[in-house]
């Protein structure tokens, strides 16, 4: 995975470069000390992960993301300020690291980024039948099934959570939506949740963590626990 650092503090570059050297799967491509140079660098290089500061001269980290317009790149914020954490959710960043950053915290964020990239580049073959149209209010929205990570049933509607952090609310029954989704790619884990199998990051104490789902771990219902365990493959 190719990594680029965008930060106006030289000491931040030094620390992050030291951390990058400890992860064999990462390749440090270069650094920029302001957002304008960073955008130019990303347009000229094949970058998978960006370590991005927020408060910088010329343009902020948020302005950088508005100008970037590339959903393929996984972005991790690295900042000394906690004030922007809530705002960062609107930009679907992978993680929000507060300086000083420990290596353990850095590694956790990197692993999340790698998982997101692998999920985006999944080997599953999708075709036109995996595009669904849903009605949200008065609008008709086109959704690719490969972007769906979680479906959650509410009282009289469904919440569909997408890989980029967005959420769509639709009126449909759980059983009908379960029929529409590909059973090879999705699994029902409770009476109110369907998840994409490849989006599952971890399983612990009958709870699962899912990529792109920002509302905490999902509890696996007793009836569905055995089904999930049977579906798990390649456990080492």
Kindly report which listed range (144-148, 210-214, 231-235) carries the lowest average pLDDT score.
231-235
Residue for token pair 């449909």: 172
> Long-range contacts of range 155-162, CB-CB < 8 Å, 24 or more positions apart?
160/134, 161/212, 161/213, 162/212
State percent of the chain over pLDDT 90.
48
Give the CA radius of gyration of the chain.
19
Q: What is the pTM of this model?
A: 0.60
pLDDT band per the 50, 70, 90 thresholds, residue 5: very high
> Binning pLDDT at 50, 70 and 90, where does residue 126 land?
very low
pLDDT (0 to 100) of residue 125: 45
Whether the predicted pLDDT of 69 surpasses 80: no
The two tokens of residue 236 are 């080492």
The pLDDT score that the predictor gives to residue 222 is 83
- Of the candidates 145, 76, 88, the one whose C-alpha atom is nearest the C-alpha of residue 112 is 76
pLDDT band with cut points at 50, 70 and 90 for residue 21: very high
Q: Delineate the domains of the chain, giving CATH numbers in brackets.
A: 2-120 (3.40.50.2300), 128-231 (2.40.50.1020)
Distance of CA 231 to the CA centre of its chain: 23
Is residue 7 a contact partner of residue 94, using CB atoms and an 8 Å limit? no
pLDDT value of position 19: 96
Instruction: Tell me the CA distances in angstroms from 30 to 47, 56, 101, 117, one per residue in order.
Output: 10, 17, 19, 20
Q: Give the three-class secondary structure for 140.
A: strand
Give the mean pLDDT of the chain: 86
Which position has the higher pLDDT, 137 or 36? 36
Check if the beta carbon of residue 115 is closer than 8 Å to that of residue 213.
no
Tens of pLDDT, residues 147-172: 899 999 987 788 999 988 888 888 77
Return d(Cα 145, Cα 126) in angstroms, integer: 8
């Amino acid at each position: 995975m190719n990594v680029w650092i965008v930060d106006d503090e030289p000491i931040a570059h030094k620390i992050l470069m030291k951390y990058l050297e400890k992860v064999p799967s990462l390749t440090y491509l270069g650094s920029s000390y302001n957002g304008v140079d960073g955008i130019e660098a990303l347009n000229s290089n094949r970058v998978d992960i960006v370590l991005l500061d927020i408060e910088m001269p010329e343009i902020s980290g948020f302005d950088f993301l508005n100008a970037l317009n590339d959903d393929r790149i996984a972005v991790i914020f690295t900042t000394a300020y906690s004030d922007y954490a809530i705002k960062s959710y609107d930009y679907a960043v992978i993680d929000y690291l507060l300086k000083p950053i420990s290596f353990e915290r850095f590694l956790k964020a990197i692993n999340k980024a790698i998982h997101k990239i692998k999920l985006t580049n999944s080997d599953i073959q999708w075709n036109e039948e995996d595009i669904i149209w849903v009605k949200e209010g008065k609008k008709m929205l086109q959704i690719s099934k490969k972007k769906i990570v979680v479906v959650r049933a509410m009282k009289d509607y469904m919440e569909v959570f997408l890989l980029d952090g967005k959420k769509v609310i639709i009126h449909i029954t759980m059983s009908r939506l379960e029929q529409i989704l590909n059973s090879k790619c999705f699994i029902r884990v409770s009476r109110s949740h369907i998840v994409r199998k490849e989006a599952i990051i971890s399983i612990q104490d009958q709870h699962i963590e899912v990529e792109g789902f920002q509302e905490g771990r999902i509890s696996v219902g007793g009836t569905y626990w055995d089904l999930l365990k049977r579906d798990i493959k390649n456990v080492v």
